Amino acid sequence: MIIKILGTGCPKCKNLEKLTTEVVAENNIEAEISKVEDIIEIMKYGVLSTPGLVINEKVAISGRVPSKDEIKNQIEKHQNG
């Protein structure tokens, strides 16, 4: 599973990255987490408001920092798809 955090480095983006890393670790999820800070790359996903959470190349959440439960739900939802 490939998870990308879209954001230019603002506090919300860093928080989403931290929460996502914690969710993956706490639930023993095999995932590669990377950060996309290039605004051109971010725009390719159609995300106009950061932070964004991309799972297996699909935008799961954008424009806000979700709860850990919501991140976990999104990962599970995209795990098989």
Q: Give me the catalytic one of 5, 13, 36, 54.
A: 13
Q: Give me the catalytic one of 10, 25, 39, 43.
A: 10
The torsion angle over the Cα atoms of residues 47, 51, 53 and 54, rounded to 10 degrees, is 40
Please answer whether residues 12 and 20 qualify as being in contact, where contact means their C-beta atoms are separated by less than 8 angstroms: no
Whether 64 is a known active-site residue: answer no
Whether 4 is a known active-site residue: answer no
> Would you please indicate which residues are annotated as catalytic (active-site) residues?
10, 13
